[in-house]
Amino acid sequence: MRLQKTSIWLAPVVLMWLSACGTVAPIAMTPPQGFEAQSDAFLAGNRSADSGLFANESFDLGPYRVTDVKRDWADSKASFSLGPLTWGKSSNGFAYVLRASNSTLHGRCEVNNGETRLPLSVSIIPLQSRFSLKCDCQGDGAPARMELASNSGWQQQDAWLPESLKLTIGEQSFSGSPFDHRGLAMSDGRAFVGYRFDGQAGPAAAVGLFSPGEVWLHQSLPASQRAAMTCALAGLLLHTGP
């Protein structure tokens, strides 16, 4: 599993197992608070343990199929120095398709990283790190957009927690927040295993990031928004990797 330094940390109490055939063995997670017995849970199935340019990264999420994954369509790197300081930034992206029995959505995500560093004779001190992930899903029905961002400094505690996380489907907005291995919402330094999204009516959807991944769609989420929501959450799963 690939982890972005400034984006996602997972609870150390959870273990990852790989099956002999090279697919990720299913590991059920604790649903977030408010989703127990009130949501449809889709554990990622038929997901390969491999990822990257030449891997088949397709997988199933209940009635949905994530397929046609293509990475590094926006890969770029740049850096420059001024005095003792060095600035670096990089970006990359990936595209995918979410298919259902009656709809098809095309997802596209862009990842941006930036860092300010102070090189010393024996080490390099990272002074500030910036990270963002933006995913768009277009196709049948209202479009979805998910944005995650963090901006951390070396003095900051819990700097790896996301600074902002939001998701929109059409004109409706959902606020995102991390949850831990017990399914509890959190904002401190405990390791988290996924994100939940809440709208004006309460819980809407959640995604468990630990391999192979899991999605919860709350019963209150309208049928017209379910494919778009699943497409956006699939972007988070693909970013984390199997």
> Is the peptide bond preceding residue 32 cis, with omega within 30 degrees of 0?
no
Nearest to 213 by CA among 184, 242, 180, 239: 242
Give the DSSP letter of residue 27. -
The per-residue pLDDT for 43 is 95
pLDDT of 65 above 50: yes
Cβ atoms of 111 and 235 within 8 Å: the answer is no
The per-residue pLDDT for 199 is 97
pLDDT of 24 above 90: no
Q: Taking the domains of the chain in order of start, what are their residue ranges?
A: 39-240
Amino acid (one-letter) located at 230 = T
User: Mean per-residue pLDDT for 112-138?
Assistant: 79
CA 166 to chain centre: 12
pLDDT of 18 above 60: no
The per-residue pLDDT for 9 is 40
pLDDT digits (tens, 9 = 90+) for 147-182: 999 876 555 544 456 788 999 999 999 999 999 989
Residue 10, phi-psi category: left (phi > 0), alpha (psi -120 to 50), beta (remainder):
beta
pLDDT digits (tens, 9 = 90+) for 68-119: 999 876 666 766 676 666 767 788 999 999 999 889 999 999 999 887 767 7
pLDDT digits (tens, 9 = 90+) for 182-234: 999 887 656 789 999 999 999 999 999 988 999 999 999 999 999 999 999 99
